[in-house]
Amino acid sequence: MKRIAPTVNPGQQPDRHRVFKAAQGALTVLALAVSGASVAMAAPMEAPTAQHAAVRKHYQIAAGPLAPALNQLAGATGVMLTFAPELTDKRQTQGLDGEYNRKEAFDLLLMGTGLRIVQLKDKSFVLRAEEQSRSALEVGPTLVNALGERPGVIRSSREVHAERQDLNSLVRSMPGTYTLHSRSQPGVSVNIRGLSGLGRVNTMIDGVTQTFRNNAGHGSGGPMAFVDPNLLAGVDVQRGAVDGAEGANTLGGTANFRTFDIDDIVKPDHRVGVRSTYRTGNNGYGNTRMLAAGARTRPEDSEGVYGIVAAASSSQTGEYKTSSGQENHYDTTKQSPRSGLLKVRLQPNDLHRLDLSGVQYRNEFYHNYPWELRNETYRAKYAYTPYNEWVNLTVNAYQNKTQLDYPPVEESTFIGRKTHDDAHGFDFTNLSRFNFGPVEASWSNGMRYYTDDFVADTPEKRGANPEGKQQTESLFSTLELDYDIYAMTLGMHYDGYKVSGHVPKCSILRECTGIGGGDVDITRREHSFNPRIGFAVKPYDWMQLYTSWSRTSRAPRVQEMFFEKVPMTADASDADGVGANPYLRQERSTNYEFGFNLSRAGLFSSNDYAQLKVNRFISKIDGYITPQSFDIVDDDGEYSAKANWVNWPEQVRMSGYEIEGRYDAGFVYANLSWTRATTKAPTTSGIELEDINSQPDRYWTLDLGTRWFDERVVLGARGEYSGPAEESWDWYETRKTQSTGVIWDLYGSWQVQQNVSLFFNVENVENKTYSYNASVDSIMSASLDRGTGRGRTTSFGVTFEY
């Protein structure tokens, strides 16, 4: 991709220019350790006045690729427009043919693209994604994964590359974000700033919440996203208080796994597209196959846009060896996932657009028990976008279904278990934009309803997995105000929940006196008001300062409130109500964010770019829900133990620092993610029912690479470090794990010709001995020595695109 130097703003004040030069030295040093890719295109025109903006002119711009159309309109209107090519790549426009003022012309040209232009304080304009923040809240030319944020909602995004495919490492490469790692569990359990689990982190596939959890003990974790990396386009993470429907009943952030869309497969100038990837490797890697095909109408074919994409993927993996040559055939990594997706776009005109999608995942694997798992995610998204500053409506309806079977392939206590989780819901959001004199305003309002029903199809073998239903509803509103270099965000959620289920008869009646000894249906309801306020100032084009305060809440889940004491004896299927805690309250968190963003184009050369983001977060959680064990005396005077999920009586504090940076000069690039935090949750009894007890106290990822021969050849190295972590061990005791040390991978790709690319990856190139932190491998892999991480592994493959 050709990189064009951003045009220097001719209206820049001399005093600010001197301050910029004074700070350039600091940015130069920082750029050596940070990373990223950002490019800009500009149309150097005279800065328009308000009078110019109101003038109506006739514009005639042909339908087709968006980038040249934007350049043509920028020249015709006399504005200086800056944007990153990644934003317009694969996007089309219906064009213009009529008389409009400047705002109408840009709005109509961008209709249905998910993009908009924003005027900066120097009267120039920048192109931004709809979901991204406004002028004073971002830095520099904006990328899809830009570092600029609304204060209090810290975003990171990662694109999926064939040569760097490990999903756990991809998620861990974002600051403040970690995963529960298991060698035998393919599901991804996301931890954000020490918080994980349903409601603490809203984990999604294509915007649809994933709710399934299996209380099998031994650190099963949940909810987990069961998604095939071969079908992924990228992963988006929001840390902190989250606005809109995604932030409903969400304590600490969201993670969304985006699968292929039509525009990922069909190139901008094509009506059809095909992508096929084959990959194989040693050390248990096996092989993977993926085929995707799509079709889309072009503007000359019809008035609207119609498209479809379908993809299928399958893999075969085996048991890997550690660096010492050990294998674990009991808790094996042998798997055979099969996945598919189908998406349809119906856009008859600029006013209406309907997107339908379905993603399915199937797998057989062994994690403490043999699993047969099927996950289905469906979504319908409708957008109504009339040319009206008060109406921009989006409606979503979705369903997620997960089914788990323990097939009868061995003799064990819970073989034959069948459970399923059925979740569905809808949300709608309306976005209005208007002005109060010189103040630009954006006001988003909506509601969300969601229900999650967990069913034990074989009640006698459900073990500690209770049946029950959770219902959540939320009203939300976010007002963004933008004046000159200042911006303020005022947001709120009014969240409510209802959890209902059955408490079995209690074996020890005095443990359940408040509910009549058990055998009773219980329903609990609560509501909470969660406000957020954020403020940002951008005193210079290269600097953003921000701060925010917020409250968030999270409802107790069915598996916590109705957890059952299951005696581990021959009659293990007998449920016991003494494990339930129908008095659980919701968790409440008070959150603080403050930090700064720096950006610089032309740092060392005319076409390089550097960004650095430094963030400090503090969360104080009241009523933190955690599993605890208690000694009890039965009716015969014998001592026994029971486990309950309880609200921790003391406030739980989690805090830390996050750094994210990038530098890109075309020929070389670097990406840095660094986190140091204290995220220790209350100590459990060692029953390992919690998702992740804590993140490592520090961890970082550094990605360094070069591009050759017009960027057709890419060679890179990726280092990953994870410091010591606290994990439960024995009875209410914890232990510190060892750091992983720095684990290096090598990767590369070569575009042999326009439609064919080769790629390779060498994981753990030094063949170091290490164990994953925030992992259940130390429990599930007892037959191995302490070093349970994968030894040196080489994989390579080929991708065909048309």
Q: State residue 417's pLDDT score.
A: 86
Q: What is the mean pLDDT of residues 7-33?
A: 37
DSSP-derived letter for residue 557 is P
Please write the tens of the pLDDT for every residue from 597-649. Answer: 998 888 888 788 899 999 999 999 999 998 887 777 766 677 666 778 899 99
Q: State whether residue 428 is helix, strand or coil.
A: strand
Whole-number Å distance between alpha carbons of 57 and 90? 28
Q: State residue 531's pLDDT score.
A: 97
Encoded tokens for 91: 């996007």
Q: State residue 67's pLDDT score.
A: 82
* pLDDT at residue 495 tops 90: yes
* pLDDT at residue 747 tops 50: yes
Q: What is the mean pLDDT of residues 776-794?
A: 72
Look at residues 612, 477, 598, 495 and name the one whose alpha carbon lies nearest to residue 545. 598
Assess contact for 535 and 490: CB atoms under 8 A: no
Whole-number Å distance between alpha carbons of 435 and 44? 27
Q: Which contiguous run of DSSP H or E holds residue 434?
A: strand 418-436
Q: State residue 623's pLDDT score.
A: 96
Q: State residue 563's pLDDT score.
A: 85
Assess contact for 378 and 358: CB atoms under 8 A: yes
Q: State residue 780's pLDDT score.
A: 55
Please write the tens of the pLDDT for every residue from 542-597. Answer: 899 999 999 999 999 998 899 876 554 444 446 788 888 999 999 999 999 999 99
Between 400 and 407, name the one with better pLDDT.
Answer: 400
Rounded-to-10 torsion of CA 750, 753, 755, 761: -10
In sign, the C-alpha dihedral spanning 412, 416, 419, 420 is positive
Long-range contacts of range 434-440, CB-CB < 8 Å, 24 or more positions apart? 434/389, 434/390, 436/481, 438/483, 438/484, 439/481, 439/482, 439/483, 440/119, 440/134, 440/481, 440/482, 440/483
Whole-number Å distance between alpha carbons of 505 and 511? 11
DSSP-derived letter for residue 335 is B
* pLDDT at residue 529 tops 90: yes
Q: With bands split at pLDDT 50, 70 and 90, how would you rate the model's confidence at 86?
A: low
Q: Where are the domains of the chain?
A: 14-146, 177-801
Q: Which fold has domain 177-801?
A: Maltoporin; Chain A (2.40.170)
Q: With bands split at pLDDT 50, 70 and 90, how would you rate the model's confidence at 200?
A: very high
Whole-number Å distance between alpha carbons of 169 and 789? 13
- Report, in this order, helix, strand and coil percent for the chain, each rounded to 5: 10, 50, 40
Burial of residue 563 (number of CB atoms within 10 Å: 0-12, 13-18, 19+): buried
Assess contact for 793 and 285: CB atoms under 8 A: yes
* pLDDT at residue 251 tops 80: yes
Q: State residue 732's pLDDT score.
A: 63
Assess contact for 406 and 417: CB atoms under 8 A: yes
Encoded tokens for 31: 């750029």
Look at residues 568, 576, 587 and name the one whose alpha carbon lies nearest to residue 626. 587
* pLDDT at residue 54 tops 60: no
Encoded tokens for 242: 């989250």
Q: State residue 270's pLDDT score.
A: 87
Largest CA distance in the chain: 91
Q: State residue 681's pLDDT score.
A: 82
Give the number of C-alpha atoms closer than 13 A to the C-alpha of residue 440, restricted to the C-beta side: 17
Cβ neighbours for 536, distance < 8 A, ≥ 6 positions apart: 136, 137, 150, 151, 486, 487, 488, 544, 545, 546, 547
Q: State whether residue 271 is helix, strand or coil.
A: coil
Whole-number Å distance between alpha carbons of 34 and 30? 6
Q: State residue 92's pLDDT score.
A: 79
Q: Which residue has the tokens 């650190």?
A: 219
Q: State residue 607's pLDDT score.
A: 80
Between 255 and 693, name the one with better pLDDT.
Answer: 255
* pLDDT at residue 197 tops 60: yes
Assess contact for 561 and 586: CB atoms under 8 A: no
Q: State residue 689's pLDDT score.
A: 56
Between 350 and 282, name the one with better pLDDT.
Answer: 282
Q: What is the mean pLDDT of residues 87-104?
A: 79
Look at residues 277, 245, 279, 246 and name the one whose alpha carbon lies nearest to residue 260. 277
Q: State residue 784's pLDDT score.
A: 54
- What pTM was estimated for this model as a whole? 0.82
DSSP-derived letter for residue 164 is B
Encoded tokens for 90: 């694969």
Assess contact for 744 and 767: CB atoms under 8 A: no
* pLDDT at residue 159 tops 70: yes
* pLDDT at residue 423 tops 90: yes
Q: What is the mean pLDDT of residues 525-553?
A: 94
Whole-number Å distance between alpha carbons of 617 and 590? 11
How much of the chain exceeds pLDDT 70, in percent? 82
Peptide bond into 223 cis (omega under 30): yes
Chain center to CA of 405: 28
Please report, for residues 1, 245, 679, the alpha-carbon distance to residue 448 in angstroms, rounded to integers and kept in the order given: 41, 6, 30
Strand order in the sheet with 201-205: 153-159, 232-240, 253-259, 201-205, 208-209
- First CA to last CA distance, the chain: 18
Please report, for residues 15, 135, 546, 771, the alpha-carbon distance to residue 539 in angstroms, rounded to integers and kept in the order given: 12, 12, 11, 46
Look at residues 252, 254, 238, 176 and name the one whose alpha carbon lies nearest to residue 673. 176
Between 771 and 28, name the one with better pLDDT.
Answer: 771
Assess contact for 185 and 237: CB atoms under 8 A: no
Give the ranges where 506-583 is alpha helix by DSSP (H): 558-561
DSSP-derived letter for residue 162 is T
Mean pLDDT of the chain: 82
Assess contact for 756 and 762: CB atoms under 8 A: no
DSSP-derived letter for residue 50 is H
Q: With bands split at pLDDT 50, 70 and 90, how would you rate the model's confidence at 342?
A: very high
* The domain made up of 14-146 is a member of CATH 3.90.550.10: no
Assess contact for 74 and 81: CB atoms under 8 A: yes
Rounded-to-10 torsion of CA 99, 104, 106, 110: -110
Look at 387-396, 437-446, 769-778 and tell me which has the smallest mean pLDDT: 769-778
Encoded tokens for 575: 């449920």
